[in-house]
């Protein structure tokens, strides 16, 4: 009886399905590092888009300026990708390296139009090229999700079971 109570408590914990599916299908597997990169990419992209939108003014309120020069976040993205590459040479720091790569990719793709036009077109019509690059990055996220089908299947199966159990408990 106690073991079934524990199992029911574990199933009703919303994070147990995610943790269990992660441990079972991703942890230590070939797609784990790409998932870390994906999460880092998405989180960085959201944060940088919110940050640049909130600080976008005529007077560079939230900008990083060194010696009178505005430092675009693409610079930090390139540095992050380079560091991730250096760590890859020795096959060390697998998951932090993946996160660093995801962060760098988001920073570079967000200012992709700056790299192409070699001038700040972030808020101009040419800046839409960055949105195209971000879209390509998001397609990579979808491809990554597809590669991890068993993870999603277990996660949704656990979620469906949890919702069914909650409905049953409410009727009782």
Which structural domain range is residue 118 located in?
Answer: 30-56+63-145
**Count of domains observed in the chain:** 1
Most confident range (mean pLDDT) of 48-57, 108-117, 118-127 is 108-117
Specify if 168 maps to a domain.
no
Query: What mean pLDDT do residues 13-21 have?
Result: 70
Q: Are 6 and 143 in contact, with CB atoms under 8 Å apart?
A: no
Query: What mean pLDDT do residues 25-40 have?
Result: 86
Specify if 155 maps to a domain.
no
Specify if 115 maps to a domain.
yes
DSSP 52-70: HHHH-SSS-SS-EEETTEE
The pLDDT value given to residue 91: 82
The pLDDT value given to residue 47: 93
The pLDDT value given to residue 66: 87
Query: What mean pLDDT do residues 22-42 have?
Result: 86
Query: Which residues on neighbouring strands pair with residue 65, listed in sequence order?
Result: 70
Specify if 84 maps to a domain.
yes
Give tens-digit pLDDT for 97-111. Answer: 999 999 999 999 999
State the pTM of this model: 0.72
């Amino acid at each position: 009886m106690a073991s079934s109570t524990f199992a029911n408590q574990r199933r009703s914990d919303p994070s147990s399905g995610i943790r269990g599916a992660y441990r079972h299908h991703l942890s230590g597997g070939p797609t784990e590092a790409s998932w870390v990169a994906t999460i880092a990419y998405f989180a960085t992209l959201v944060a940088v888009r919110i940050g640049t939108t909130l600080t976008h003014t005529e007077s560079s309120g939230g900008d990083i300026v060194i010696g009178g020069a505005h430092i675009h976040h693409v610079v930090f993205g390139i540095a992050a990708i380079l560091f991730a590459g250096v760590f890859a040479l020795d096959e060390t720091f697998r998951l932090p390296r993946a996160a660093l790569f995801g962060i760098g990719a988001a920073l570079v793709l967000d200012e992709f139009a700056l790299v192409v036009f070699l001038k700040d077109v972030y808020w101009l019509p040419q800046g839409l090229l960055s949105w195209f690059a971000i879209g390509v990055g998001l397609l990579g996220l979808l491809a990554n999700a597809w590669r991890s089908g068993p993870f999603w299947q277990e996660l949704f199966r656990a979620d469906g079971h949890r919702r069914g159990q909650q409905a049953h408990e409410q009727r009782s």
